[in-house]
Amino acid sequence: MKAFILSGGFGSKLREVVYNQPKILATIKGKAFLDHLFYLLKKNGFSEVVLGLGYLSGMVKDYVIQRPLYDMSVMFSVEPRPLGTAGALKNGEKFLDTTFFVVNGDTYLDTDYQKILEYHRQNKALITMVSAKNVYADGFGKVTASDSGHVEAFVTEKSEKTGDYAHAGIYVMEPAVLSLIPQGYNSSIEKDILPELIKQGNVFEYKCQEPFIDIGDAQGYILAQTKLER
């Protein structure tokens, strides 16, 4: 399996607790968050990882090169300027020639990724969105789906918590999705790609029972210190 990790953002919401480094290198229980992610992916059978980098990309590359990589092939896709979540995928298109997972670089979800992939293939989806238990006081992006799993709506903005599940910042995608993304422009998966595909009925939701961890802000970073294993 292959994963594209979106890790090019500035991490501005985390700067009150993490200074002068990309958030994917934030220390959680003595290890960089990236190490926790790599271990999780390797445990779940991933053999290839593409790191989508931007802000302080050299620091991340140096960190990865100097450390063992859990026997996974790691590739770097560096944005020349901020391109947004969809633009980052387009920038790394040459690495994404088979079905792939997209994982936000501040998200950790310990679940069975093989089952997610099987669900995606059974439904012949272009995109599968992963929802998980929300253990936070605040809301996250919320997916509304039919009984058959077809996504009918997706509210992207964080708001007041409205349910037990939230989008976990993880997708499965087919390479065909990349043809919908303009080259070299700042664009968003959530705002520019998903709406049209949802209308076409090509997006499904996979709902898992495990909680996800999001270190994108100080609240999530502090929670991760108690939830993640060493």
How far apart are alpha carbons 124 and 228 in whole angstroms? 33
Q: Look at residue 211 and tell me whether its pLDDT is greater than 80.
A: yes
Average pLDDT (129-143) is 82
Average pLDDT (116-132) is 97
Chain centre distance of CA 181: 17
| pLDDT in the model for residue 122 | 98
Q: pTM score, two decimals? A: 0.93
155 phi/psi in degrees, rounded to 5:
-95, 115
Domain 2-130+168-184+211-227 sits in CATH 3.90.550.10 = yes
Q: 17 or 100, which is more confident?
A: 100
| pLDDT in the model for residue 203 | 98
Of 40-49, 94-103, 106-115, 211-220, the poorest mean pLDDT is in: 211-220
Ranges of each domain in the chain: 2-130+168-184+211-227
Average pLDDT (74-101) is 97
Average pLDDT (2-30) is 78
Burial classification of residue 155, based on how many CB atoms lie within 10 Å of its CB (0-12 exposed, 13-18 middle, 19 or more buried): middle
Q: Look at residue 73 and tell me whether its pLDDT is greater than 70.
A: yes
Q: 7 or 161, which is more confident?
A: 7
Amino acid at 147: D
Residue with tokens 């953002």: 9
Q: 139 or 194, which is more confident?
A: 194
Please report the sign of the dihedral spanned by the C-alpha atoms of residue 161, residue 163, residue 168, residue 173: negative
Instruction: Tell me the pLDDT band of 15, cut-offs 50, 70 and 90.
Output: low
Instruction: Tell me the pLDDT band of 18, cut-offs 50, 70 and 90.
Output: low
Q: What secondary structure does DSSP assign to 152-211, as a single string? A: EEEE-S--B--SSEEEEEEEEE-GGGGGGSPTTS---IIIIIHHHHHHHT-EEEEEEEEE
Helix (H, G, I), strand (E, B) or coil at 18: coil
Q: Look at residue 175 and tell me whether its pLDDT is greater than 60.
A: yes
The set of residues, in sequence order, having a beta carbon less than 8 Å from that of 68 and lying 6+ positions away, is none
Of 21-35, 73-87, 161-175, which one has max mean pLDDT? 73-87
Angle at 204 between CA 33 and CA 72, to 5 degrees: 35
Of 75-79, 96-100, 225-229, the poorest mean pLDDT is in: 225-229
User: What mean pLDDT value characterizes the chain?
Assistant: 90
| pLDDT in the model for residue 138 | 64
Contact (CB, 8 A) for 140 and 225: no
Angle at 165 between CA 108 and CA 12, to 5 degrees: 50
Average pLDDT (202-226) is 87
**Residues 24-37: b if buried by 16+ CB within 10 A, e if exposed:** bbbebeeebbbbbb
| pLDDT in the model for residue 228 | 79
